[in-house]
């Protein structure tokens, strides 16, 4: 499956499955940050949902 550029991600992309439009179950899934040539990070959601987990990677506060 083709990814979505980070600059184009919307909340709906983190909440609903792109294939069938069904809601993504909370705390279930894997995400990958990459460009065309290199994978930078692979993570999973276990205790938090994507809406909470993905933005946490970009929190620049010391407690983030």
Residue ranges per structural domain of the chain: 6-56
Beta bridge partners of 45: 29
For residue range 19-31, list pLDDT tens digits in order: 888 887 666 677 8
Encode 17-50: b = buried (16+ Cβ within 10 Å), e = exposed. Answer: eeeeeeebeeeebeeeeeeeeeeeeeeebeeebb
Q: What is the pLDDT of residue 11?
A: 79
Global pTM exceeds 0.85? no
Label residue 21 left, alpha or beta by phi (over 0 means left) and psi (-120 to 50 means alpha). Answer: left
**Is residue 1 predicted with pLDDT exceeding 70?**
no
For residue range 29-51, list pLDDT tens digits in order: 778 888 888 888 888 777 777 77
Q: What is the pLDDT of residue 50?
A: 73
């Amino acid at each position: 499956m083709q990814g979505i550029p980070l600059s184009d991600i919307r909340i709906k992309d983190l909440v609903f499955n792109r294939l069938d439009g069904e809601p993504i179950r909370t705390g279930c899934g894997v995400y990958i940050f990459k460009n065309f040539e290199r994978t930078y990070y692979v993570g999973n959601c276990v205790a938090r949902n994507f809406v909470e987990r993905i933005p946490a990677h970009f929190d620049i506060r010391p407690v983030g």
